[in-house]
Structure 1
Amino acid sequence: MDHESTGGEAQETAEAAVRRARFGALPERVRAEDTVEERPATLPDPARDAYDPDEWMVRYCL
């Protein structure tokens, strides 16, 4: 009977070692900056930036 308990203890010790190797340490921390991806919501429109705010004054006031 003593021999069976030693074999069981050895198996439990081996299982504990496997469990410790797999779950013994926490994963490395992930910075918040690395979890966010920034992309523009829409593609830039070149026609939108082509507006000259002073153009209407030249067309209508002169």
Structure 2
Amino acid sequence: MEDERRSADAAQRRRSLRFSKLPEPVRLKDTVEERPTVAHDSVSGAYNPDWWLIRVGGL
């Protein structure tokens, strides 16, 4: 019985240490990812008139 109490107290201490403070705030500029756009490849004839059908999935 005493052993169960010790393990419960240890578990409670670990939880209180873990959840006793809020996480560090995240800056808004860290939530945005910027990537350059890919230019359309008109040289290889990659035009597809049904691109919208492929993108939307036939809805």
Using structure 1 for the length normalisation, give the TM-score: 0.43
The structure, 1 or 2, with the larger RCO (C-alpha pairs under 8 Å, 6+ apart) is 2
Using structure 2 for the length normalisation, give the TM-score: 0.45
If each structure's helix is expressed as a fraction of its own residues, which one has the higher value?
1
